[in-house]
Amino acid sequence: MNKATLYLLIVLIMLPQIVETIYSPALPSLAQAFNVAPHAIAQTLSLYFVGFAFGVLLWGILSDYIGRKPVLLLGLMLYSLASCAMLYVENFYLLLLLRCCTGFAIAVGSVITQTMFRDQLSPAQMIPIFSIVGVFIAISPSIGLFLGGVLTQWHGYVAVFYFLAISSGLLCIVTAVLSTETLSQKPTPPPIVKVVKQLLCDRKVIGYAALITGYNLLIFSYYLKSPFLFAQHPTALTWLPYTGILFSIGALLGVMLNRYCLNHAQLKWVQLNSKQLLLMSALICLAASGLSFKLANSAYFFVPMILLMLAYSMAIPILLAQALSHYVNYKGIAGAVLGFIYYIAIGLLLEALKWLPNLSLIFSSVSVALLLIMCVMLKKKCL
């Protein structure tokens, strides 16, 4: 894999989270412009993930038939068109439809890039590479939050929509020039039904999907509610774009800890394997939940997110690298089904969690669930 391709894949794998969190600071502006309540505007996030889930499923399966690059370009072109259409939306329900369409299209950036990495790397090579990629995945929400905050303060949600339309068009051109096909040979039509059944009956895959869902719920529930919480603290509202810098520090520390422990597991004073790192990350989530209750009514309610970003960046590279280690012959389909499971779960659970009155309850309930799932998986020997 040459450097240009590697850098492009890193940008593409960051893209889905950047384009989602860039949208977060604009939620109050959108709610005001379309004259809807905060819980209604939250549907734009839930439907984004539902569309994303179906996109992951389609693009992943299609890539095993016609190749990675054609599918990647098709998804990016559709995203660019949908982003341009959002500039002219005046009806809230049409906005919801287009948000679902953008989620469907941009899912190509997640599933195809992961599949392209799996095409060229063995499972043993995946963890160190995904630890590097994990740095960028971990800071991508913070980049989106910063850009979204600056754009929203400048010209409201309209500036965000213009940025998405222009940048997606440019990225589509760059991808057409720099990307290369990684599917070495077109396989015979894969037994989709058989592979799907095998995945759905695989306790390891379901468990890993549940864990990936949980960590993403912690992050995106914050991005769903935080703009409205900042609005309740006018003195802190100007901090919104810059909180992403703090979250990036937490994410970088998490990735560095992950890489150091896995690379030095032979040292007596380290002795932390991937299972122990996952358990540690879940305990950090619990600690962050406790701190969240302490700061719930303060202008510093965002501080626990630093710990949550640390935990997220410790866990996600391990989970993504190991989840499909037994499905090397059907990477596209396996990646698509795994992504569909956890993204549809994220979308549906975000819709349910938005009714909880505060972030502290969301953080605590999801953190407890993560720890319980890990304990069950350890008992069943599938972690």
DSSP for residue 23: T
- Closest to 354 (Cα-Cα) out of 44, 128, 120, 62: 44
The answer to whether the pTM exceeds 0.75 is yes
CA distance 358 to 59: 36
Tell me the pLDDT band of 109, cut-offs 50, 70 and 90: confident
Q: Give the residue-averaged pLDDT of 112-117.
A: 83
Lowest mean pLDDT, pick from 55-64, 83-92, 267-276: 267-276
Here the tokens at position 222 are 């914050």
Q: Round the CA-based radius of gyration of the chain to a whole number and report it.
A: 20
Query: In the predicted model, what is the mean pLDDT of residues 299-321?
Result: 88
* Of residues 252, 214, 283, the one with CA closest to residue 138: 252
CB-based contact 228:26 (threshold 8 Å):
no
Q: What is the DSSP letter of 186?
A: P
Highest mean pLDDT pick, 167-171, 253-257, 299-303, 370-374 = 370-374
Looking at the chain, how many residues does it have?
A: 383
Tell me: pLDDT of 191 over 80. Answer: no
In angstroms, the Cα distances linking 279 to 98, 134, 202, 217, 321 are 39, 18, 21, 17, 17
| Under 8 Å between Cβ of 138 and 13 | no
Q: How far apart are the first and last CA of the chain?
A: 30
Cα separation, 258 vs 127, in Å, equals: 10
Six token digits for residue 91: 């009806």
What's the pLDDT score for residue 259?
74
For 65-71, what is the mean pLDDT? 86
At residue 6, the pLDDT reads 78
The CATH classification of domain 3-379, taken from the options 1.10.10.60, 1.20.1250.20, 1.10.10.10, 3.40.50.10860? 1.20.1250.20
Task: Find how far residue 280's CA is from the centre of its chain.
Answer: 21
Query: Where along the chain do its domains lie?
Result: 3-379
* Alpha carbons 380 and 374: distance in angstroms, whole number: 10
CB atoms within 10 A of CB 37: 8
**pLDDT for res 366:** 95
128 pLDDT band, cuts 50/70/90, is low
φ, ψ of residue 354 in degrees (nearest 5): -65, -20
Greater confidence (1 vs 223) lies with 223
pLDDT (0 to 100) of residue 67: 84
- Is the pLDDT at 57 greater than 90, yes or no? no
Q: At what angle do helices 304-322 and 123-178 cross, to 10 degrees?
A: 100
Q: How far apart are CA 66 and CA 92, in angstroms?
A: 36
Q: Could you report the per-residue pLDDT of 213-251, keeping only the tens digit for each?
A: 999 999 888 888 888 888 787 776 677 777 878 888 888
Q: Buried (b) or exposed (e) across 261-276, using 16+ Cβ within 10 A?
A: bbeeeeeeeeebebee
Residue 207 has pLDDT above 60, yes or no: yes
- Which string of b and e fits 113-147 if b means at least 16 CB within 10 Å? bbbbbbbebeeeebbebbbebbbbbbbbbbbbbbb
Evaluate if residue 267 carries a pLDDT over 50: no
* pLDDT at position 271: 47
Q: Which residues contact 87 (CB under 8 A, 6 or more apart)?
A: 158, 161, 162, 165
Residues above pLDDT 90, as percent of the chain: 24
Tell me what pLDDT residue 270 has: 42
What are the helix (H) ranges across the chain?
A: 3-21, 27-33, 38-41, 43-66, 68-86, 92-106, 108-120, 123-178, 192-200, 203-231, 243-263, 274-294, 304-322, 331-353, 359-379
Answer for the pair 53, 333: CB distance below 8 angstroms, yes or no.
no
Q: Which of 139, 134, 351 is nearest to 249 (CA)?
A: 139
Mean pLDDT of the chain: 84
Question: Distance (Å, rounded) from C-alpha 363 to C-alpha 147?
Answer: 25
Q: Which of 172, 289, 269 is nearest to 222 (CA)?
A: 289
